[in-house]
Amino acid sequence: MLIVMVIASTAFSEVGDTLQVKVKSFPPCVVIEDDGTITGFDIAIWKEICFLNGWECEYSVDTTHKNILEKLGNKDIDVGIAGFTITEDRENFVDFSHHYLDSGLRILTLKSDTGILDKIISFWNNIKNTLIYYSVFLIIFAHIVWIFERDDDPTNNIGSFSDKYYPGIFEAIYYCIITASTVGFGDYVCKKLKGRFFTIVLVISGIIAFCNFTAVLSSSYTIDNISSIKSVDDLKGKTILTQEGPSLKLLESLGANVKVVPTVEQSVDWLMLGRGDAVVYDSPVILEYAKKYPDKVEVVGSLFDKQYYGFALQEGSPLRQNINKALLQLRENGKYNRIYSEWFQKD
């Protein structure tokens, strides 16, 4: 025991009187409370390690894993805690402790029994951009047609549309809608050469725009009524929301359309707004959000791409040996299991 304490003291003196620890929100592993208090499974394990080694720590919060790893590489901090997956690429410039938690990836989707209001919101978010573009297209063409076909003489009405802007522009919009959609009731027709020539342009471009609009409507309706993701095999061709990290290459190799979102919280928000088909991220975090929004989202499929979490350290850090010994001691004395049970409820 005396030898261990001497080694710990030597390591502590090499890195400074107080360890600089950088963390990132990663619930339930790292939880940043509203008042700035830092808790979570990782933090609880780390505090026990510090107690066993007699270390003092100063904590600060960062927003991304990448920033923390860069600070470790530059030796600006001593330890990074944020559910770091141990990978070969990362070990090229930082060190890791022995793993303290087994993890992997999970899939979060909207619940198949989502309410009618949620489906309407999701449907609207899928089509709103296309609807706006199509509306602008019709309004611009309507103004051009109205200018060509109105009669500038206010004493008569020999043109196709009313001389006055109101109701003339609405008549032109109606004409453009029925013409672009290839219906053409015939109650409004262009009488002037300019108007007729422009109608040809409207019909050709209108077919393309209207077909695109109906295609978006059809696909959005289908997506909102069929829950097509049940396992990792269904991710191909789907829009998957995730964060920067080791999972990116895997998802791309599966043929998914990957959107990188700054935070997991934002990814889940986008999922509920219909901006993606699923969120794929580390299991502890996904399970935490499934518990947070039980009426809106659900976890589908099983755990895949198994991962191991470790405390991130400077390359060649003198802390590594003492951290690993403390982790072993926590498993042997039962404290690890007690902390695990506190943060990960077992069904």
Interval 73-118: pLDDT, tens: 999 999 999 999 999 999 999 999 999 999 999 999 998 755 566 6
Reading the block at residue 140, the tokens are 């611009």
Q: What are phi and psi of 60, to 5 degrees?
A: -145, 160
Instruction: Name the band, by pLDDT with cuts 50, 70 and 90, for residue 147.
Output: confident
* Torsion-angle region of 201 (φ positive above 0: left; ψ -120 to 50: alpha; else: beta): alpha
User: pLDDT class for 16, splitting at 50, 70, 90?
Assistant: low
* Chain Cα centroid distance, residue 134: 28
280: its two tokens:
């794929």
CA–CA separation, 210 and 301 (whole Å): 38
Average per-residue pLDDT in the chain? 85
- The length of the chain in residues reads 347
Bond into 167 cis (ω within 30): yes
Distance CA 74, CA 76 (A): 5
3-state SS class at 305: strand
> What does the pLDDT read at residue 8?
45
Cβ atoms within 10 Å, residue 215? 11
Predicted confidence (pLDDT) per residue in 235-283, tens digit: 999 999 999 888 888 999 999 999 999 889 999 999 988 889 999 999 9
As a whole number, mean pLDDT of residues 4-20 equals 57
Q: Do strands 297-309 and 31-32 pair parallel, antiparallel, or not at all (unpaired)?
A: unpaired
**Cα-flanking dihedrals φ and ψ of residue 94, to 5°?**
-135, 165
Which region among 137-151, 161-175, 177-191, 295-309 has the lowest average model confidence (pLDDT)? 177-191
pLDDT band at 13 (very low <50, low <70, confident <90, very high): very low
What's the token pair of residue 328?
């072993």
Structure confidence at residue 152 as a pLDDT band (50, 70, 90): low
Q: Do domains 2-100+310-343 and 117-225 have the same CATH topology?
A: no
Pairing of strands 312-314, 79-81: antiparallel
pLDDT for res 344: 87
The share of the chain scoring above pLDDT 90, in percent, equals 55
277-299 burial code (b ≥16 CB/10 A, e <16): bbbbbbbbbbbbbbeebeebbbb
Q: Which of 310, 300, 304 is nearest to 253 (CA)?
A: 304
What distance lies between CA 139 and its chain's CA centroid? 35
C-alpha distances (whole Å) from 91 to each of 134, 250, 253 are 51, 19, 23
Q: Which CATH number fits domain 108-112+229-305: 1.10.30.50, 3.30.750.24, 3.40.190.10, 3.40.50.920?
A: 3.40.190.10
Give mean pLDDT, residues 56-69: 95
What gap in Å lies between CA 311 and CA 228, rounded to an integer?
A: 37
Work out the average pLDDT over 166-192: 79
Place of tokens 């609009």: 213
Q: What mean pLDDT comes out for the span 200-227?
A: 70
How many other CB atoms sit within 10 Å of the CB of residue 164? 11
In the chain, where do the E strands start and end?
19-24, 31-32, 38-39, 57-62, 79-81, 94-96, 101-110, 239-242, 257-260, 278-282, 297-309, 312-314
Q: How confident is residue 39, by pLDDT bands cut at 50, 70 and 90?
A: very high
The separation between the first and the last C-alpha atoms of the chain, rounded to the nearest angstrom, is: 39
Q: Tell me, what amino acid is at 181?
A: S
**Mean pLDDT over residues 139-148, rounded?**
88
Domain segments of the chain as ranges: 2-100+310-343, 108-112+229-305, 117-225
pLDDT of residue 284: 94
Angle at 204 between CA 199 and CA 210, to 5 degrees: 105
CA distance 229 to 143: 45
- pLDDT at position 161 is 79
> In CATH, what number does 117-225 get?
1.10.287.70
pLDDT of residue 182: 67
- CATH class, domain 2-100+310-343, is alpha beta
Neighbours of 33 (CB within 10 A): 9
The secondary structure of 272-289 as a DSSP string is HTTS-SEEEEEHHHHHHH
Q: Alpha-carbon distance 185 to 249, whole Å? A: 54
Most confident of 195-204, 274-283, 309-318: 309-318
Which position has the higher pLDDT, 24 or 7? 24
Residue range 17-45: mean pLDDT, rounded: 94
Question: What is the C-alpha to C-alpha distance for residues 194 and 200, in angstroms, rounded to an integer?
Answer: 10
Report which listed range, 13-22, 34-43, 200-209, 239-248, is most confident.
Answer: 34-43
